[in-house]
Structures are given as structure tokens and as C-alpha cells.
Amino acid sequence: GAGVSQSPSNKVTEKGKDVELRCDPISGHTALYWYRQSLGQGLEFLIYFQGNSAPDKSGLPSDRFSAERTGGSVSTLTIQRTQQEDSAVYLCASSADREFGGYTFGSGTRLTVV
Amino acid sequence: RKEVEQDPGPFNVPEGATVAFNCTYSNSASQSFFWYRQDCRKEPKLLMSVYSSGNEDGRFTAQLNRASQYISLLIRDSKLSDSATYLCVVRKDTGRRALTFGSGTRLQVQP
């Protein structure tokens, strides 16, 4: 596609439920990143996929968070047993070259845990 | 200490003013530097890269001071459309190679 596509754009879930967030990067981009942004805060790195290399999971805040990237393209971020502090905007970005800072971000998924 | 620190602002300036933001980074292994712009409730977008020699893009000038570990962004002749949050971004050359974002400086240009 022309840009990074994320779905859903908004998600309201009850505390304790699992959620899946999807990211469809720009075709041909080998690098894919997940960040989250809480209200009024900066972007917090979560996980980074580069080609077929093992992902950099060093930013995942707990073992309730996991992500996968199938076929080097679409990625899914899963949050199990959601907590209220998980409420944030989850942003996905992709880039053609991991050495370059020109990320293209999707418009994000706004997650609200009630 | 945060890896990237910025004054959150807001900076309220009149149209036509010149405004400058600074950003400091803590990791001397940082190799690449960028400014991103984020409009309210939108995703960040790359504004410009920051080169060691300094670089200019129209009304925007970016500077890097490696010795003092700070980056600056200067905006001349501010426009109403410049109102946004400006994110300072760094990338290390070792370890995690994903970008590290500052919390941003909010700019409000007033008529």
C-alpha cells in the first residue's frame, strides 16, 4: 500500500481481556517498529523487526506483550490480560533501511482499557 | 535520566518570529539525529535529519554539537502551520538500533 496501515483505529476493551493490533507496513520495507504513546508523553519503543533477524524485544514492558511478523510483512501486537495502564496509542512504523531514520508511521491504534 | 531530553514548552510565539529548540542526549554512542514533527492526535512525521556540519531546509535549520551532546532546531519566519510538537530523535550505533524519541517541545504560533 501507499502508507502504513493499522487496524483497528480505536479499540475499547475491558480490563483482563486480550487484544490484537495489526500493522501492514509499506510494501518492500524490511524494518518494522512498534511504539506506544501515552497521553501527553513521548514515544516508547516496544519492539523492532528487521528482515529475517531475531526481533529486538527489549522494549516490551511485560510478558503480557508479544508481537510477531509473518512473512516479513504484516505484524500483530498482542496484549494479554489488559490493564488500565496499557491505555495508549500504539504506533507502528516501517522503513526501507534500518540505518536511516526516515520512518513512516501509521496513524495508530488508540487503545482504551476500561 | 532520559536518553533524550527536551523542554516540553509550550513556546508561544507570534507569526514571523524566530524560535529555537534545544535537545540533549545522554548516550555518546548516538550516531544519527533527526527532528520529527507531530501534529495534535496525529502520527509523527520526519521533518529533517541533523548532520554534523549543520543543515538547512527552507526556514528550518538544524545543528548538532557532539561535544556537548545537544541538537538544536531553528525556525525562522514562523507560520501558523508550524504549530505542532517537535520531537528530537536519536539513534545509537550500538545495541538497540531503533530510534529513541524525546517527549517533544510544543510550539504554538499565534496570529
Query: What tens digit of pLDDT does each residue of B56-93 get?
Result: 999 999 999 999 999 999 999 999 999 999 999 998 76
B83 neighbors B18 (Cβ within 8 angstroms): no
Mean pLDDT across chain B, nearest whole number?
92
Count the Cβ atoms, other than its own, within 10 Å of residue B1. Answer: 5
Nearest by CB: A106 against B43, B97, B103: B43
Which of A77-91, A98-112, B58-72, B78-92 shows the lowest mean pLDDT across its residues? A98-112
Of B42, B91, B103, the CB nearest to A42: B103
Residues of A whose CB is below 8 A from B34: 101
What does the alpha-carbon distance between residue A12 and residue A18 come to, in Å, rounded to a whole number? 11
Residue range A79-86: average pLDDT? 97
Look at B99 and A103 and tell me if their CB atoms are within 8 Å: yes
Residues of A in Cβ contact (< 8 Å) with B62 = none
CA B72 and chain centroid, separation = 6
Which of B30, B40, B43, B99 has the highest number of chain A CBs within 10 A, making it the mutation to test binding with A? B43
Please report residues of A whose CB lies closer than 8 A to that of B46.
101-103
